[in-house]
Each structure stands twice: as structure tokens, then as C-alpha cells.
Structure 1
Amino acid sequence: MLRRLLFLGLVVAFVWVVHSRFDEIRDLTATLLAGRWPWILSAILLQIVYWVSYALLFRASFAVVGVHSPLRSLIPLVLASVFVNSATPSGGTGGIALFVDDARRRGQSAARAAAGMLLVNIADFGSFLVVLTVGLVILLLLHDLVVYEIVTAFLMYTYVGVMVAVLLLGLWRPDRLRRLLKRVQQGVNRVGAWLRYPTILDENWSDNNSREFEAAANQIAAHPDRLLEMSGIGLIAHVINICTLYSIFLAFNIKGSLGIIIAGYAMTRLFWIISPTPNGIGIVEALMPVVYTSLGLETAGATIITVAYRGISFWFPFVLGFFLLRR
């Protein structure tokens, strides 16, 4: 009964998102129909390869913590998590819950699955920092690096740095990690009390998260080669995305150097991750035409690239993820 109610709520969320973004979806359809279909098809096929490689990253990360996850079951989960994280105000925890619940139903450890999700984020975001650094250097050389890009990039580096630091703390000083997370929990709930919501983080939050960090840290220490494998898969996935973006440039006969394409992808992904809205909905669509225009593209071309890439890399998986959710 509870699962049916939750699914009904997600159906409502799906309808609301599609309705609120209907104009963007209509523009996406018109834009893709205007492109050269061999290159549009190439971009779509590359995205299929990307999602398979992203699922491989999940499988490798789960293997590190001793959770066996078949690739055929991970691909639908990865796509479904795109929908759940975008349509619900869960701060990314909704997607995590899908993987943890799947592991539990297959007789695997839910706690280890949660630790595996942490490794996924570290490998994914850590490998993205390589692409981001290259993109920032390109923007700097083109004298096109602006304040909001610098600030957002700083937040990205800080976010990954904090995850790595907490992971190391879980390896070397687990008792300090537990105390640190306990203070964070108390501080967040104190702020929540001012807003008449004193239990933003439940009483088990610090203990559960400290165990996840400790488990992930110990597994990485025991298998350091696995971290390189995960980072390699993550980097390959980002290269596939860059190739997708290149295909879209070709689909609409828009000239762009390799530097512009890499910098454009780096900024797209940056505003996708560091955003006040889930998966950068509305933010990416608003900022990326400005970024591409500053890199020398005409306004019309910048808008086309943004709409087409965003549609193929996000909206298609979003819709597909909704229909795969029942699985």
C-alpha cells in the first residue's frame, strides 16, 4: 500500500515537472527535428553508451564494498534515479534509496550499498575535477573566466575535498568523525528548531553516516587499485559526454573548437551539479547560452546547443527513468 502511494506521488511529480517545463520540451522537439539526423542519432547512441558506462561505475563501486549488482539491474536503477532526484525534493537521497532498497531486496547489505553510493560520488565528481580543471584553464586562456564560474568551481572543489577529507577521517580517526557528524547534526537541527522543524536530521543520522564513511574508507584502503578503476570509468564517461556534445555541434553545423566544446561541457556539468535546483533544472538552460555566447557562438547557436544537449543528456533519461521506476 505504501509503495503504491509513493508511486502515485511520483506520478503526480512527473506530470507537474512535464507541465511546468512544457515549453522547453516543445522547443527541444522542434530543435532536434531541425538537426541533421545522422549526428542526432550519433549523440543519442553515445548517450546510451554513457549510461551503460555510468552503470559500470556503480557496479565497480559496489564491488569494492562487497555488494554484487548485475549490470542489467543497475541500468534501469541509474535512469530511475535521474527521475527521482529531479522530481522530488530529496537532495539526492531519493536516488540513493533506490539503490539501497534494491540491494536489500536482493539479500545484499543495505549499509554497504550506501557506502558504495559514497564511492560512486567520489569517483564521479573526482574524475570530473580533471575535466573541470581543463575547462577552467581554457576559459582563462580565452580571457573568458567570470566570477560566477570561479565561485561555482570553488564550491565544486570544496565539495569533493570535504568528501575525501571525511573519508580519510573515517579511515584514520573514526571516533573524531562520529563526533564531527554529531556536531553537524546538532547544528542543523538547531537551525531547524528556529524554523519550527527541529528534526531535519534524525537521531541516527550521524551514526549511520559515520558507519558508511568508515566502511567505504576501509574498503578503499584494502583495495586502492579499485579506486583507480572507478576513477578511470568516471573519466571515460565524461569523455563520452564530450563526444556527445561534439556530435550536437555537427548536427547543427555550428563551428566550435575542441577547447570551446570541453569548456562548454565543463560548465554545463558544473552548473548541473552545483545548483539550487535538482540536476540544475532551469539553471543550466539559463546560464549555458550566456557561456557559449561569451565563447564566440552566436546567440541562436548557443541556445540550440544548450537545448539539444540538455534534452538528449537529461530530459530523455528523465522520462525513461520514470517509466523504468516500476521495475
Structure 2
Amino acid sequence: MPGRFPLRTAVRPVLCLLPLALVLVVAVRHTSVLMEGFGHLGSAEWPWLLAAAVATCLTWVAAAFTRQGAVMQRLPARRLLATQFAAGAANHLLPTGLGAGAVNLRFMTVCGVPLARSSAALALYMLAESVARLGLLLGLLVAFPGALRVGSLLPHGSIGPLLLGAVLALCAAAASLLLVRRLRTAVSAFLRTALGEARSVHSRPSRALALWGGSLAFPLLQAAGLAAVGRALQLPVPPVHMAVAYLAATVAVALVPTPGGIGSVEAALIVALVAAGGPVAMATAVVLAYRIITVWLPLLPGALTLGALVRWKVI
């Protein structure tokens, strides 16, 4: 009707402002953590903090390479990099993985990648990143067996219930696939598309190199950032052991559905650094300072970028 705006026109300004509102809510809920983290940064050695900031920035570049490697179609490089920066903010505002996944799915769709192939590329990215993270952790544990006292990371007697829960979850998923025909058909179609996309990507060396190189670089850069903050605050733990602690902690909290892992990641990192030989007080200071650099400082500019990308219809 004349004089009435389409629904999309009315909703888009709200979507542009929503990231800023979420940043404000999250910041208010974690005010004490922010203040304590900034306090620790004030007493740290700034060259190491600068190294941690550089490593954090490079994680967005690694993510962009991995995203491009997961899809055959050429994506615009600058917008892809900006999208990874914005996706990082979305990931800290929504349950882990959902924010970045939604932003990248929308970006690929706008770039002309069909929804089925975009979803397959997203699944391939997540699989490659998970395999790379687990592979790095296992490789470092083999190379440095004394880096982490793994037994101290889990409460006594918790391994049995965890394994039982995993088995029950797998059985429930298998039963759902067998009993619900529509779900079985949808999953089969998605797997066919995903396998076809994976074969196409690995048939081109440049795409395969971007996918797996970025997947390996991403957790390595994150771990290097933590090690740099540990050096800045003089944590008495070797850098390689801090990297192992980081990888172990992030693997442990991968299934915890909290926004960006806020709360769960800090707790897991502190426990892992203590298991690596660090004093509790110093490990806590390192983790708080690290999360300030990697989460809180980029959060506002990331949210602004996300809003701008929505406004400019990049996503």
C-alpha cells in the first residue's frame, strides 16, 4: 500500500542497533570482570600485550582464509575480512558458534552462494577447525607430555558419567534419524551436498591450503595470544605449556552453550593454567587480561562493524 514501508525496511534499522544494545547488556553484567581485567593490564609489560593484540587481529585473517577455503566461489576479500571481525562480536553476544555461523551464512548467501552450499561450507569450516584444534592439542601433548596434568582438569569420578552422557546423546541422535523419516531425508540431502562441496574444495589445492592452513593458524594464534599475555604478567609457565592449556580449555568448553563462552571459558582457562603449573592468583590475572584483549576491546568496534554491514546490506 502507498505510504507504508516494507517490513524489511522497518526491521533493518533495529537490526543495526541490536548489536550495540547486546554489548551494553553484556558489559553491564560483567562490569566487575572488566574492571579487574583492566587493572591487571595496567601492570603488564606492554610489548607482550602488543604481541597479544597482533595475534588477535591475525585470527580474523586466518578465519577469512578458512571461510574462503570452505567454498568454491570467490568471495570479496575486504568484505570477507570485515565479516569475520563482525562475526567475532556476534559470537560473543550469542550462544557459542551461532553468532558467527549466522553472520557468515548470511554473507555467503548475499554473495550468491546457494543456501545448501553455504550451509555445507559452514559445516566444513567447523569440521576443519575442530579437527585442527584437536590435532594440535594431541600433537603438543605427545611432544610435551608433562605440559598438563590432565587428571586435575576433571573432578574425581566424572569421566564415567561424561562418557555415559556422550553415548546416550549419540544413541538419541541415531534413534531420531531412524524413526523420523523427514529428518532422515533432510540429513541425507545435506550430507550429500556437504560431501560434494568437500570434494570440490579439495580438488583445488589453493582452496584446500586456505581451508586447512587457516584452520591450523586460527587456534595457534589464539594460543600465542594467551602465551604473550602470560609473559606480560610474568606467569611462571613455559609458553608451550600455556598453549597446551589454552587448547585443552577451549576443547573442554566447546559444547557449553553460553554467549562466546563468557564465564565458562574464563573458568576453564584458569583451571588449565593451574594444571600447567601456574599459581591460581596469577593464572586468574592472565586470563582476565587475555579476555580483555581478545573479547572486550574488539567487542564495541565489532558490533559497530556488524551494524554497518547490516545497513550496507553486506549481510
**Which range, TM-score by smaller chain?**
0.7 to 0.9
Work out whether 1:77 is the aligned partner of 2:71.
no
Against the structure 1 CA distance between its residues 243 and 60, is the aligned structure 2 distance closer, same or farther, given a 3 Å change threshold? same
In structure 1, stretches of 5+ residues that fail to align are 163-178, 188-202
Deviation at 1:268, TM superposition (A): 3.1
With the length of structure 1 as denominator, give the TM-score of the two structures.
0.75
Aligned positions of 1:158-173 closer than 5 A: none
Give 3-state SS (helix, strand or coil) of 1:273's partner.
Answer: coil
Aligned positions of 1:82-161 closer than 5 A: 82-89=88-95, 92-134=97-139, 136-137=141-142, 141=146, 144-146=149-151, 148=154
Partner of 1:324: 305
Deviation at 1:244, TM superposition (A): 1.8
With the length of structure 2 as denominator, give the TM-score of the two structures.
0.77
Letter in 1 for 2:291: R
Partner of 1:265: 246
Deviation at 1:127, TM superposition (A): 0.2
Alignment counterpart, residue 234 of structure 1, candidates 210, 215, 230: 215
Deviation at 1:69, TM superposition (A): 1.3
Partner of 1:253: 234
Letter in 1 for 2:306: L
Work out whether 1:215 is the aligned partner of 2:193.
yes
Give 3-state SS (helix, strand or coil) of 1:16's partner.
Answer: helix
Q: Alignment identity in percent? A: 22
Letter in 2 for 1:121: M
Against the structure 1 CA distance between its residues 236 and 105, is the aligned structure 2 distance closer, same or farther, given a 3 Å change threshold? closer
Give 3-state SS (helix, strand or coil) of 1:305's partner.
Answer: helix
Q: Measure the CA separation in 2 of the matches of 1:3 and 1:86.
A: 21
Give 3-state SS (helix, strand or coil) of 2:277's partner.
Answer: coil
Q: Measure the CA separation in 2 of the matches of 1:215 and 1:31.
A: 49
Q: Measure the CA separation in 1 of the matches of 2:20 and 2:185.
A: 33
Give 3-state SS (helix, strand or coil) of 1:279's partner.
Answer: coil
Partner of 1:183: 177
In structure 2, stretches of 5+ residues that fail to align are 1-9, 310-315
Partner of 1:291: 272
Partner of 2:65: 56
The total of aligned residue pairs comes to: 286
Deviation at 1:56, TM superposition (A): 0.9
Letter in 2 for 1:6: L
Q: Is the 8 A contact 1:13 1:88 kept in 2?
A: no
Against the structure 1 CA distance between its residues 276 and 37, is the aligned structure 2 distance closer, same or farther, given a 3 Å change threshold? same
Partner of 1:11: 20
Deviation at 1:229, TM superposition (A): 4.7
Q: Is the 8 A contact 1:88 1:94 kept in 2?
A: yes
Letter in 2 for 1:132: L
Against the structure 1 CA distance between its residues 318 and 141, is the aligned structure 2 distance closer, same or farther, given a 3 Å change threshold? same
Against the structure 1 CA distance between its residues 25 and 185, is the aligned structure 2 distance closer, same or farther, given a 3 Å change threshold? farther
RMSD: 3.3
Q: Measure the CA separation in 1 of the matches of 2:11 and 2:281.
A: 47
